[in-house]
Every structure is written in structure tokens, then in C-alpha cells.
Amino acid sequence: MGGAHPQRGLRAGAPRRLAGAVARGHRRLGSAGALALLLTACSAGGSGGGGVAHNHGTPSIPAADGLPRMVVPADNPYTEAKFELGRALFHDTRLSGNGTQSCASCHEQARAFTDGRPLAIGSTGQTHPRNAQPLANAAFHATLTWANPTLVTLEHQMEVPLFGTDPVELGITDANMPEVLGRFAADAKYVELFAAAFGGGSGQITIGNIIKAIATFERGLTSADSRYDRYLAGKAVLTESETRGMQLFMGEKAECFHCHGSFNFNDHIRYVGQGRVETPFHNTGLYNMGGTGAFPYPNRGLFEFTAQAADMGAFRAASLRNVALTAPYMHDGSIAALEEVLDFYAAGGRNVTNGPLAGDGRRNPYKSDLIGNISLTAQDKTDLVAFLRTLTDDTLVTSARFAKPSWLP
């Protein structure tokens, strides 16, 4: 059924959207072919005369070939000078109150900008309630983090790791801010980079400009060179198992494409020229504490913002680009390996049999109807994992362009 499922409105099991989003027909890609078509259209045009510009009018973001055009705030246009400054700041532990942690401590390039831990740990040792997310193509996400409808720009999101106190991440406060800024003002290389990015004078070394520069680095942090991208561009072949996995992923038996069906392998994206921006959140049946549908505080998803029962456990679908590198999985890192994620989907949710989180997530009353429809054989699971492994972009994780600059201590 190529038209996909009808919009279900606001009842249990329906994707949870932001207040104000207009209920409407399902506009996401409705068939396997559509995903391939979109991806092909986006990656087309590279070769030969007459090809359209690679990144659809965002020529200033060099690594964005094959992706749609990114929405960039008018007050923070993309420049390479800001990208270079932002790259250094992103990797620099001087950007934390106690000088021990940088963005890269939790977002490591080699792990597709995640940290390999179930739950992140901040600069003062506090455990974050959630799993660190990958950052490639994050600039395309319509809302940021696992389930926060209020964070819609990278600039705004960054206030959380910089200044957050519950938990402390980088731990910058009003009290230590002068010291933190002073560290950069005292470094001739930074004085040079700030001048190149924002104009001369040490007055440019402000937290506002730091945020603009790192957001620019994040916009440049794009991923579109996986084996799957190359396959779509006719430059790589997939094995039989990977091909079967791709067909399953995009079909109605595994249902994955409904929630992971964009060029970024989720359903929560924003780009220039898109029709309407969709911001769905889904309950996948990970928990059902005491049989009430409850997820553990403070990981109740959209419910933390709306306090509406139907939003319980509703999270943004993760982008699956580079997913083979981003274990462990889910908002709380509670699934260790991709094979286990597939077991979870094949079971239609997770039955937690003992302890304080006990409850049968397969029967969570707020679970998306799609999850219950998934049926997979052992071979299907193997093939799906093989397909997911084709989404790894070696360029992203090895490119010097995204790495810690060699001059940094």
C-alpha cells in the first residue's frame, strides 16, 4: 500500500506532534521507491554537464553534497572562518568551567560524534539522564535532542550543554564566565580566529560569538558519503543481504521507513523548500511501568513538556546515519547492540520482567500502532542490520576537516 497509513489524529498510538502542528494527511514518503527517489534526486547532478549544483544552493557548506539545502538563521550566516573557529572551540576543554571537558568529550568524531556510553557524564562527574546523540546532519532536525519541542535552533540548544545545571555538562556559570573567556583572549591563535570570523578586536571574544561559531561548525558537520549514498549514486554495490535489508527497511513488513524514511533516516527534518515541517514523536514500547504506560522520570519523552498522557514515552526517531558507530542505543542507552534493537522491534516492544522499571512495553497503551505491526524472521533481522551498516560514512569519522585542530593542546 503505497499511500502509507492514514493520519491518525491525536489518539493513543498516533505520532505525537507539537501543539500547533496541523493535523493532515501523511505526507512522509509513502513507499520504498519514494525514499530511494528522494535520495537519488538529492545525490544526483554531480557528474557531467547540465548537472544541478550539488547541495541545492548552499554552496558555502562544502561537505553538504547530496543533501537538501539547510535552513541557516539570518543572523548567523555560514562562513568558513566561523566554521574553523567553531571546530577549535568544539574540541577545546577550555570551554568548560573546570577546564576538563569539551563538546567533543561527549561527541567524539570516531564514534560519529557520540560517546560510546549508555548515559553521558558531565564535566563535574554528574550523569546525564540521556544518551549522547550523533551530530552529523543535526542541523536538519526540526527540533533538537531526544524529545524537546522547544529547542529549534542549534544556537539555542547549545545553552543546555554550556550552562545547564541539571545536570552540569560544561558547567559555565556567570561566576566563571570571565575566566573562561579570558582563556581564549589570552591565546594568540584564538585572537586571530575570532578576528577572522567576526572582525578585529578582543571585544569579539564573547559567549554569543562562541555559540555562533560552534553552531556554524555543526552546520558544516554533514554526512552524505556512506556506502548507501554511493550505491544510490551508482558508485558502489550492495550485497544480497544488504539489498534485502534495504527492501525490508522501506517496506510494510518492517515498517522502518515510516519513522526513519527521510534522507536523514528519521522523520523530523527541516530544509529549505520543504512543504510543511513535521515534528512527530513516537512511543516505541520500551517501558510500561506497572502496566500504566509510564516511562521513568525524567525520560518520559514529550510528556515532560506537555504532561498529557498520550505523550508518555514519545521520543524523536533517531537518525540512523552512522548508526553502526553510535552504540549503545535509544534515549537512555538501554539497548547495547543493533541486533538487540532488531529483536526489540520484532517483539513489538520490550518486556521488562523485574526491578523498578518492570512492565511489558509491548502492551504500552501509548505505543505507536506501527510497532505492533512489525514482524521479522531471524534472516530479516540479519539483513536489516547489514543494511544499517551501509549507512556508515567513513569520510565523516576520518576527515581532518572535522577533527581536533593539531595546534590545540
Asked if residue 205 lies in contact with residue 181, where contact means CB atoms within 8 angstroms, the answer is yes
Q: How far is the CB of 368 from ligand HEC (least distance, A)?
A: 4
Q: CA-to-CA distance for 388 and 382, rounded, in angstroms?
A: 10
Residues 6+ apart with CB under 8 A from 262: 28, 29, 35, 38, 269
Position 246 contacts ligand HEC (CB under 6 A)? no
When binding is defined by CB under 6 A, the residue of 18, 88, 106, 294 that contacts ligand HEC is 106
Position 133 contacts ligand HEC (CB under 6 A)? yes
Q: How far is CA 151 from the centre of its chain?
A: 13
When binding is defined by CB under 6 A, the residue of 288, 326, 364, 390 that contacts ligand HEC is 326
# chain residues binding ligand HEC, by CB under 6 A = 52
Residues 6+ apart with CB under 8 A from 270: 71, 140, 141, 142, 277
Query: Is residue 62 exposed (0-12), middle (13-18) or buried (19+ Cβ within 10 Å)?
Result: middle
301-320 binders of ligand HEC (CB under 6 A): 315, 317-318, 320
Reduce the secondary structure of 83-121 to three states and give it as a string.
HHHHHHHHCCCCCCCCCCCCHHHHCEHHHCCECCCCCCE
Amino acid present at 112: A
When binding is defined by CB under 6 A, the residue of 259, 310, 357, 396 that contacts ligand HEC is 259
Binding mask 171-210 for ligand HEC (x = CB under 6 A): ----------------------------------------
136-155 binders of ligand HEC (CB under 6 A): 138, 141, 144-146, 154
Binding mask 283-302 for ligand HEC (x = CB under 6 A): -x-x----------------
DSSP 360: E
State the cell numbers at 250. 522501506
Position 91 contacts ligand HEC (CB under 6 A)? no
Tell me the CA end-to-end span of the chain in Å, nearest whole number.
56
Please report, as ranges, the residues that interact with ligand HEC according to CB under 6 A: 101, 103, 105-107, 120, 122, 128, 130, 132-133, 135, 138, 141, 144-146, 154, 157-158, 161-162, 169-170, 214, 218, 254-256, 258-260, 282, 284, 286, 315, 317-318, 320, 323, 326, 329-331, 338, 341, 345, 368, 370-371, 374, 384
